[in-house]
Every structure is written in C-alpha cells, then in structure tokens.
Structure 1
Amino acid sequence: MSEQQDTKWKAEFKKDVVYLHVIPRSRARAVVNISPYAIKLELWLRINNIPFETIDCQAFSKKGQSPFIMFNKEEIPDSNFIIEFLSEYFSVNPFPGLNATEKAVARAFIKMVEENTSWPIFIYRYVENIDEYSEYFSPDQPVEVRKQILGKLQEWVGKRAHGHGIGRHSSEEVQKVGCDDIQAISDFLGQKKFMMGDNPTVVDCSVFGVLSQVVYVPMGYPMRKYIMEKCPNILQLFDRLKNTYWTNWDEECKM
C-alpha cells in the first residue's frame, strides 16, 4: 500500500469486506449522504448482499473522488468502476436478466442520470440557493461555518457547470433539463416494479442516489415539485427500494 492509502485504511480489516469510504454522513440532513454516488453504491451493495462497512472519510480517492472503497488492501475509486470490479469478484450480474439491447438502454439511463440529471440539483443547491441549502448541509456545524464552506463550493461548482455547458443556461432552462429527464425516467418506468423490469439493477441505484437528493430534502427544488405532483411511480419505486433493501433509511437520516 502507498503512504496515502495507509492514512485511509483501517487498522483492522476483514478479507472480502468492502470498506465504503464516503463523505461524512454528518454533513447531510434529511438524506443519508450529500453524495448521490455514495447512496447509489451503498444501495447496490445492499441489493447484492455484499458485506460492507460504511466509513465517514474526509479524504478523497487517488483520483480525487468520493466515494471510494478499500478492498483487500486495494483502493478502488469511482462508483461505476467499483461496481464493475465487485461484480466480477463476487460473480454478481449488475444487470440481471437483461439482453444486450436492454443493457444498452440501462447504460444510457445511468449516464443521463449521473452526468445530466444531477447538474440541475447541484446548480440549485450549490450555486443559486446556498442560503436555503445551508439548513440541510453540515447541521452539526455553526451556520457561519456552513455558509463559508458553501461559498467555496459555489465558486467551484459554478465553474464546473460552466465548463460542462449546462451552467451557461438560465436557471429556468437548467431546471427544465432536470424535469425533462425526470419525465423520461417516469415514462420509462411506467408500471414496472423496477426501472428495467422485475429485478433491481444499477439503474435503480443511480436513479435513487441522484433523485433522493430532491425527494427527501424539502427544499424548493422545481424537480422535487415535479416529482411530487406528476410522478407518483418514482415515489413508489423509492418506497419499494427503501422498504426492501434499506429498512433503516429513516434512522440513518437522523444520524
């Protein structure tokens, strides 16, 4: 292990246990974690009964990302690469029962949700409404400290959004992008049990991870209003996932 890895590794560990390092959960209020990708990954581990331990961690991976895992003395970053690695190691199919065409659709939805739908959420809370978001960010810290951190994030996220391209649009246009994506998710889900059919896949984990940030955080997100008023099937999907795979979700949100 490198010296950097030593600072992240537990003094004691068990073989074949995933040590899931996430942004400290104390930074979140009303949702388990402020990172959609941490929630996505933990849900996937739960669905597939892979042994894991969640560890609050201020540090980032060697790629500068969070979450990351430490597994059998190896650091693995990026939720999608982590799922790919663990699927092979534990002989788990991330897309059970899907043919090649359905896997292609699944990949397209994952990329849309994680690389497009997420941006209107980040822009709303980190760029345009940091005063409102300060009520749900690091509730264990004084308000002044929260706003100082969010002020730094405001500049950083704003620059990234502008570089991405979505940050060049008006607020109304950005939120329309998010709501259009939500409608596409709802239309495709329809009356199915899960996004791709009878079995949960990585797609459900991505959708839950990203949209949980608006569904469970009672801010003035236009995307939240859209889901609540027009997409009951998404809310039903979330209840199904929580009640089946994350039964202590509400308790963890209070941590």
Structure 2
Amino acid sequence: MSGAEDTSPNEPHPQWKPEYKRDHVYLHVIPRDRAKGALNISPFAIKLEFWLRINKIPFETIDSEQFSSKKQSPFILFNGEEIPDSNFIVEFLCKKFKKDPYPGLGPIERATSRAFLKMTEENMTWPIFVYRYVEHTDEYADYFFPTVPREQRLKILETLTDWVGKRAYGHGIGRHASADIQKIGCDDIQAISDYLADKNFIMGDTPSLVAYVPMKYPMRIYLFDKCPNIIRFLNRMRDNYWPEWPRLEESKTE
C-alpha cells in the first residue's frame, strides 16, 4: 500500500472529497473491521479519536487503506490538507481550535505529562506489538482481520512478523528475552498506576493528552490483577467520552 503523495498547499489532497466540509476533521484510520475486541488495531488511532472527543472537535472517522505521506496511519484531512502523525495532528488542531493539550497545568506538570506520553508511545506499545506480531501470531489471528479466512489472516501476519521484529530489534527492546520485554511493559503500567493513585485523571481533574493506554495480553493480565485504579480511570474515560465502547469489566475475557 503506497502513501499519499505530497500536494501543493493550493491544491486539495487527492483523497479530499467535494462533499467534505471545511473546518471539519476527517480522521483516516486503518479500517476498523480489521480489529476484533478493540476499536482499531492501532492504539494511535484510538488515542487520537479520544482526544477529538474530549475536546469536542467536529470530526468523522474514515476507514482508509492509504497511509500518509510519511507512511503512517492515522492521519487527518483538514480543509484539503493532509496532516500526518498523531502528535503533530494534536499540535495542529490545538492551534486551529484554540485548545490546550495540557489544560490548567503548570510547566512541571506539562513536563511530567510529556514524559508519560512518550513512555507510553515509545516504550510501552512495543511489548504489545512484539506479543501480537512476532511471538503469538497464531493467537492474535483470532482478533485480526476477522472478516477474511483464517489462512489469509495468518499469511498477512507472517509478512508483519519480520517487519515488526526488525523494527523492535532496531529500537532495542527486541534484543531482550520475551519475559523481559513483557516485564518492561508491566513496569510502565505500574509507574502509571503509582502516579495515578486515586486521582480522577493522570494529571488531576482534567483529561489531557495522557488519556488512554491501550493494553492487551500479559500487560492486560497485570492491569487487571495489580492496577484496579487504571481500570477505573479507563472506564471513566469511556463513560464520559466514548459510551458506545464496552467497559473493561465487560470485555475482560476477550
């Protein structure tokens, strides 16, 4: 699948449709029917949609086979312009809609928020990806591309195994034993749980960019066994901003 081509600022993006509205966000994500038991196979797509919902920014989610010009998903189209990368998208929309990504926080709290965000995105997602795409593809096939035959799913996952494995090795986390990789993820979860304590949200009483932590498998087991405050936090987020998504207690065994 090829990425979208760069276009002139004066020309609409090739995927921009005549019926699209101005000042409306069109969030392009990996097709949602590729996931079972989750809203999307990409945690970054879920994070970005959560942020749009929290900030009440008008948007529509578009299932798309295309990647951005940076070969990434998700990306948005806004007034004919492509904006890739979830964090750059948030920065762009904050300026357009006059939103604060860390509302009500001082410099130290903002720095702490950024550190947690980067820990989640740059470190904690890797144990999930390694488990899914490298070590347990046969198990993950039950949750991946549920609309296609299982044999085809396994072939698709086979192509991802080498790619994800090489990326994990280049990152550094893929050089460790499987148990050590999962311990890294569980230690990150514990750090979030310790910092969250009994607060409503990670950084006090207002949701910010540190809003959603996608967890599955060994890390999910650790979450339910050791960190009930994060379960309560995630359910508060879902109840307030994404009520059609089942609460965690309802999907614990999925």
Distance 2:39 2:239 in 1: 15
2-11 vs 134-143, which deviates more? 2-11
Equivalent-residue separation in structure 2 for 1:10 and 1:193 (angstroms):
40
Match of 2:112 among 86, 105, 108: 105
How far 1:9 moved relative to its partner?
2.0
Q: Cα RMSD between the aligned structures?
A: 1.6
Q: Is the 8 A contact 1:28 1:136 kept in 2?
A: yes
TM-score, length-scaled by structure 2:
0.92
Equivalent in the alignment of 1:85: 92
* Equivalence for 2:176: 169
Q: Which structure 2 residues correspond to residues 67-216 of structure 1 after superposition, within 5 A?
A: 67-205=74-212, 207=213, 210-211=214-215, 214=216
Q: Could you say if the C-alpha distance between residues 166 and 5 of structure 1 is closer, same or farther in structure 2, counting changes exceeding 3 Å? A: farther
- Asked if residue 238 in structure 1 is aligned to residue 234 in structure 2, the reply is yes
1:123 shift after superposition:
0.2
1:22 aligns with 2:29: yes
Match of 2:245 in 1: 249
The 8 Å contact of residues 60 and 68 in structure 1, kept in 2 or not, is answered as yes
Ranked by relative contact order (alpha carbons within 8 Å, sequence separation 6 or more), the top structure is 1
Which residue identity lines up with residue 87 of structure 2 in the other structure? N
Distance 1:112 1:5 in 2: 36
The answer to whether 1:46 aligns with 2:35 is: no
Counterpart CA distance in 2 for 1:105 and 1:80 is 16
Q: Is the 8 A contact 1:8 1:59 kept in 2?
A: no
Aligned-partner Cα distance in 2 for 1:36–1:5: 28
Q: Which residue of 1 aligns with 2:252?
A: none
Secondary structure of the structure 2 residue equivalent to 1:70: strand
The C-alpha deviation readout for 1:150-205, integer Å capped at 9, x for no partner, is: 00010100000011110000001100100000000100000000000000000114
For each residue in 1:45-83, what CA deviation from the matched residue of structure 2 results, as whole angstroms up to 9, or x when unmatched?
000000000000000000000000000110000000000
SS of structure 1 residue aligned to 2:60 = strand
Count matched residues: 240
Match of 1:63 among 70, 76, 89: 70
3-state SS in 2 of match to 1:242:
helix
Q: Percent identity?
A: 60
| Matched AA of 2:195 | F
The answer to whether the Cα contact below 8 Å between 1:22 and 1:67 also exists between their aligned partners in 2 is yes
The one-letter code matched in structure 1 to 2:179 is: E
Q: Which runs of 4+ in 1 moved over 6 A?
A: none
Q: Is the 8 A contact 2:30 2:41 kept in 1?
A: yes
Alignment partners' CA distance in 1, 2:168 and 2:204: 33
Please state which structure has a larger fraction of its residues in helix. Answer: 1
CA deviation profile, 1:214-244 (whole Å, cap 9, x unmatched)? 1xxxxxx211110010000110011100000
> SS at the partner of 1:249?
coil
Shift of 1:6: 4.3
